[in-house]
Structure 1
């Protein structure tokens, strides 16, 4: 979910946007001043867009102050020229500045004209804002999503696996989860969460009643989240993670299943494991869109870096090829079978 701040473009910036549509400017710097989007600077084109890029953009960026950069490319679209939007949010900027700029970006695009903006770049270091950084960004954006180690292993195994025929007589044995009912207080707490009264809920399963109860509901800062995880009992947790990613302000529901190892009874481990999937379905029915499901052993794992990596995994352009392990020595020659006509 993304939210906007209500900040709008002032009259001067609106006039600059109008002139920019006919190709008058190569670059426009936009800053937030006095709760308004203001024009910080403009520059006209000198040469082609690649040779203008570093010469015009570099001097406009301040080390600790966020801003937006609208940069005109030479590509033509039906409406006119296409534009690149750069969200400059340095790591050294304050959290408030980062949130304000991330929340206002959608408004800026609307004021300028979203149809004109064909590409976006989020930069936190000066290196990322250069032409070379822009080219790296395009290369990463075009790369396929990375496979986990497990997925790579499965991919290699599928190349050599034997396929068996599956028909109407095939039987599969499955085991569904246990659907534990929610108490009235639990339903009410989830509804309050959706309305914005809470951003953290903790749930426990009453093993005798086999019912899910809310054990804690509050507004919890991310830094205090690890303290909410018990060290002696399993729990479900629902947390509204407010953060920025590539210049966008996001609010994402994260579901956490905490199980502190073998300090819990076998029955407790079985119940929490079996009730998780039906409980997630109940949350969805009550209007909670869970973006990420996590399982942890300890609350110390719940850091901002961990949640960012889980929600927005980095693309790896050059992953080493999967090395298939060697077979045992002296196992003899492989058996070769000749296919029959029936095959």
Structure 2
């Protein structure tokens, strides 16, 4: 349970394990339920496209997300992947939503073991492929 009193549903961890271990899921979008008491899975996809992942992030509301980020190392060293956690809080989201999401993030983040990179996004430039790649290469 988070500082805000928001719980993490079991469905969140089950979906994360499918992404992490089964590789059957490429990304997961999480959101608060209608009563703002629990974090639930909003959507998940096996589509490998980073653009399709970004299209799932709403322009006017907050979300959490996990993406299995794949990239190629220069010099022919091969492909790598890192699991990235996103805290999406766009500037034009309602203030109440931003506050609840910010105070609930740690509960979800702590329940997901195996996150390599954490991304805080307030606009799409901060979650662009190149921005995430830069962070992934530094870790």
Q: With structure 1 as the length reference, what TM-score do the two structures score?
A: 0.33
The answer for the alignment partner of 2:85 in structure 1 is 85
Q: Give yes or no for the alignment of 1:57 onto 2:53.
A: yes
Q: How does 1:28-39 map to 2 (within 5 A)?
A: 28-33=28-33, 34=35, 35-39=37-41
Residue 24 of structure 1 aligns to a residue whose secondary structure is: coil
Q: Which has the higher contact order (CA 8 A, sep 6+)?
A: 2
SS, match of residue 31 in structure 1:
strand
Q: Is the 8 A contact 1:43 1:56 kept in 2?
A: no
> Could you tell me how far apart the structure 2 residues matched to 1:132 and 1:104 are?
28
Structure 2 equivalent of residue 127 of structure 1? 125
Query: What is the 5 A alignment of 1:71-82?
Result: 71-74=67-70, 82=82
Counting only pairs closer than 5 Å after superposition, residues 38-53 of structure 1 correspond to structure 2 as: 38-46=40-48, 52-53=49-50
Residue 20 (structure 1) shift = 2.3
Structure 1 or 2, whichever has the larger Rg, is 1
- Quote the Cα distance in structure 1 between the aligned partners of 2:112 and 2:9: 12
Instruction: Measure the CA separation in 1 of the matches of 2:132 and 2:69.
Output: 13
* SS of alignment partner, residue 109 of structure 1: helix
For residues 3 and 16 of structure 2, the distance between their equivalents in structure 1, rounded to whole angstroms, comes to: 20
Superposition deviation, residue 45 in structure 1:
4.6
- TM-score with structure 2 length normalisation? 0.77
Q: In the alignment, does 2:66 pair up with 1:70?
A: yes
Cα distance per residue 1:100-140 (max 9 Å; x no partner) = 11111111112222xx111111111122222133246x39x
Query: Which residue of structure 2 lines up, in the alignment, with residue 15 of structure 1?
Result: 14
Specify every segment of 5 or more residues in structure 2 that has no aligned partner in the other structure, as ranges: 72-80
Residues 273-320 of structure 1 show CA distances to partners (whole Å, capped at 9, x for unaligned) of xxxxxxxxxxxxxxxxxxxxxxxxxxxxxxxxxxxxxxxxxxxxxxxx
How far did residue 74 of structure 1 move?
4.1
Indicate the SS of the match to 2:116. strand
Native 8 Å contact 1:30 1:38 kept in 2: yes
1:117 partner SS? coil
Q: Distance in 2 between matches of 1:107 and 1:88?
A: 15
1:30, 1:100 → 2: CA distance? Answer: 14
What secondary structure, in the 3-state scheme, does the structure 1 residue paired with 2:17 have?
helix
Structure (1 or 2) with the greater strand fraction: 2
Partner Cα separation in structure 1 for residue 66 and residue 85 of structure 2: 5
Q: By how many angstroms is 1:83 displaced?
A: 0.9
d(CA) in 2 for partners of 1:122, 1:68: 10
Whole-Å Cα distance in 2 between the matches of residues 45 and 60 of structure 1?
A: 12
Q: For the Cα contact (< 8 Å) 1:71–1:83, is it kept in 2?
A: yes
User: Deviation above 3 Å: which 4+ runs of structure 1?
Assistant: none
Q: CA RMSD in A?
A: 2.5
Cα displacement (A) at 1:17: 2.4
